[in-house]
Structure formats: C-alpha cells, structure tokens
Chains A and B, each alone.
Chain A
Amino acid sequence: NAGVTQTPKFQVLKTGQSMTLQCAQDMNHEYMSWYRQDPGMGLRLIHYSVGAGITDQGEVPNGYNVSRSTTEDFPLRLLSAAPSQTSVYFCASSKTVNEQFFGPGTRLTVL
C-alpha cells in the first residue's frame, strides 16, 4: 500500500491564482480530511469527508472547496489564492473513527 499520497510537494502561486491540491489513499478508508499547519497555530482542520459524496466544513474552511467523488480521492481547491493561505497542507485518512494516517504534505507559498 502506498498509504496517503499528496501532490505536489511544493507549489508557489501568485495572489488570485487557483489550484488543486491532490490527495489519494489506497486503504479503502471512509474518512478523509485536510489540515493546514502554521507556525504558532498548530494543525487546523479545513474540510473533511465521511464517505464518497459527503463533505463538511472544519475549523478554517473559508477560501477552500472540496469534493469526494470516489473513496480514494479528496482534492482541495483554492479558488483565489491569498498570502494568508501560505502554509503546509496535510491530507489524512482513517477507517471510521480509528487511527488517522497522514500524507507527506504540500508546502504552498502564495506571493
């Protein structure tokens, strides 16, 4: 199993550009989520999904969209990037409420 994979590893955007961060898992996990990690703020939940076709907002959802068309994939879309979205983004998955597994992260810089 590859576990949780994320692409790209690094990305630089200009203010106003849009992009999609990709996340995939091959463990047949129902639950998937996106977190951002910022210095002094820790990890905060952006959006999560408890199954295909079901998504919900986390603590800091503004400026981000998600969809879950398959069990395996959970992309995160930045609609119009802002410097405040400069962060490291982590995708995670789990089997129901059990242990969560994290991807390697995407380091995003918005200029």
Chain B
Amino acid sequence: KQEVTQIPAALSVPEGENLVLNCSFTDSAIYNLQWFRQDPGKGLTSLLLIQSSQREQTSGRLNASLDKSSGRSTLYIAASQPGDSATYLCAVKVNAGNMLTFGGGTRLMVKP
C-alpha cells in the first residue's frame, strides 16, 4: 500500500528565506505527483503537477522536483512571503483511476 510522508509537519521561517518542503512515498510506481496549498478552512489549490517521466516543474517562486527511484519530491519556495503561510500537501496518483494518496501536510508560517 502506498504511503506518503511529509517532513516537517510544521515550519516557521522569517520572511525572505528560501525553504524546502519534503515529501516521500513508499512505492515508486506512480503516475504523477501533485503539490497543493490549503488555507485554513478552505479547499485545496493545485500548485504543481509532475508527471512520472518528469524531473521538475516550476511556477513563479515555486519549484518542485521528483526522484521516483528514491521515492522523493521536494517543493522549493524562493524568497518566502507572509502570504505563503498555509498547509502544503503532496499527493501521488498510483494508477489510472482517480485515487490520490496524500501526505499529512506541512504547516508553513512565514513571519514578517
């Protein structure tokens, strides 16, 4: 059974710092990996999708990498801002159905 782990569970950084969020998964046979942002009491906003054949994806200050063989993905946030404060979730798709397996999330706080 696929298991997804995110470390750390919580992170507090000063504004302007570059930071890395980690996601690991136990089964490397994945279709894709997706990073989401969730604000308190809100739904999930898709940030980046990496297909299994890709190594990384970039959007603005965000860069996500994927190393399938080691079962790891990282989300790099450059020049963090207070508006980046949220919970970040990674999820892997393991088959052609619609099932995503989620990690527990990293709760990020960026202090002004």
Contact = CB atoms under 8 A, between A and B. Distances in A.
Specify whether A and B are partners: yes
Interface of A: 31-33, 35, 40, 42-45, 48-50, 56, 58-59, 90, 92, 94, 97-105
B112 interface: no
B44 A45 contact: no
A97 B31 contact: yes
A44 B1 CA distance: 13
Contacts of A45: 98-100
A33 B31 CA distance: 17
Specify the main secondary structure of chain B where it touches its partner.
strand
**Top 10 A-B residue pairs of the complex, sorted by shortest distance between their CB atoms:** A48-B98, A102-B44, A104-B43, A43-B102, A31-B98, A99-B49, A33-B98, A42-B102, A102-B43, A45-B99
B65 to A, nearest CB: 17
Nearest to A49: B98
A35 B89 CA distance: 14
Interface string B71-103: 000000000000000000101010011111011
Most chain A CB atoms below 10 A, which of B44, B89, B98, B105? B98
Interface in B44-85: 44-46, 49
A100 to B, nearest CB: 6
Specify the main secondary structure of chain A where it touches its partner.
strand
A11 to B, nearest CB: 15
B88 to A, nearest CB: 13
A56 B45 CA distance: 25
B97 A50 contact: yes
A105 B39 CA distance: 12
Given A90-B44, A99-B34, A104-B43, A42 B103 contact: yes
A94 B97 CA distance: 11
B28 interface: no
B101 to A, nearest CB: 8
